[in-house]
Amino acid sequence: MDNRPIGFFDSGLGGLTCIPSLMKDMPCEKIVYFGDTARTPYGSKATTTIRNFSMQIADFLVQNNVKMIVIACNTVSATCLEDIQFKYPKIPVIGIISPAAEKISSRSCPDNKIGIIGTKVTIESKAYEKSIKKLNANLNVFSTPCPAFVPLIEEGIIKNDIMDMTIKYYLDDFILENRIDTLVLGCTHYPLIRSNIERIYKDLKIINPSEEIVHRIKKCLEEKDMFAKGSDYENVFYASDLSENFVNMIERIFNATDVNIKFKNLDIETVGG
- Binders of ligand DGL among residues 192 to 251 (CB under 6 A) are none
> Which residue from 259, 263, 248 is spatially nearest to 38, judged by alpha carbons?
263
Amino acid making up residue 157 = I
Length of the chain: 273
CB nearer to ligand DGL: pick between 226 and 247: 247
43: contact with ligand DGL by CB under 6 A = yes
Distance CA 189, CA 44 (A): 14
Cβ atoms of 132 and 102 within 8 Å: the answer is no
Burial 10-43 (b: 16+ CB within 10 A, else e): bbbbbbbbbbbbbbeebeebbbbbbbbbbbbbbb
Cβ atoms of 33 and 16 within 8 Å: the answer is yes
Give min distance, CB of 89 to ligand DGL, in A. Answer: 25
**200 contacts: CB under 8 Å, gap ≥ 6:** 164, 167, 168, 171
CB nearer to ligand DGL: pick between 131 and 228: 131
> Which residue from 251, 128, 236 is spatially nearest to 182, judged by alpha carbons?
128
Q: Pick from 56, 188, 208, 240: which binds ligand DGL (CB under 6 A)?
A: 188
CB nearer to ligand DGL: pick between 57 and 228: 57
Cβ atoms of 213 and 70 within 8 Å: the answer is yes
Q: What angle do CA 220, 221, 224 make, to 5 degrees?
A: 85
Q: Is 28 a catalytic residue?
A: no
CB nearer to ligand DGL: pick between 75 and 235: 75
Candidates 27-35, 59-67, 182-190, 262-270: pick the segment binding ligand DGL (CB under 6 A). Answer: 182-190
74: contact with ligand DGL by CB under 6 A = yes
CB nearer to ligand DGL: pick between 150 and 184: 150
54: contact with ligand DGL by CB under 6 A = no
Q: Is 73 a catalytic residue?
A: yes
Give min distance, CB of 219 to ligand DGL, in A. Answer: 21
Q: Pick from 21, 40, 131, 235: which binds ligand DGL (CB under 6 A)?
A: 40
- Binders of ligand DGL among residues 77 to 136 (CB under 6 A) are 118-119, 122
- Cis, peptide link before residue 92, omega less than 30° from 0: no
DSSP string over 85-98: HHH-TTS-EE-SHH
Distance CA 100, CA 130 (A): 12
Candidates 187-195, 213-221, 223-231, 240-248: pick the segment binding ligand DGL (CB under 6 A). Answer: 187-195
Q: Which of 28, 80, 187, 220 is flagged as catalytic?
A: 187
Give min distance, CB of 54 to ligand DGL, in A. Answer: 11
Give min distance, CB of 111 to ligand DGL, in A. Answer: 28
The residues assigned a catalytic role are: 73, 187
The residues that touch ligand DGL, with contacts defined as CB under 6 A, are 10-12, 14, 40-43, 73-75, 118-119, 122, 150, 187-189
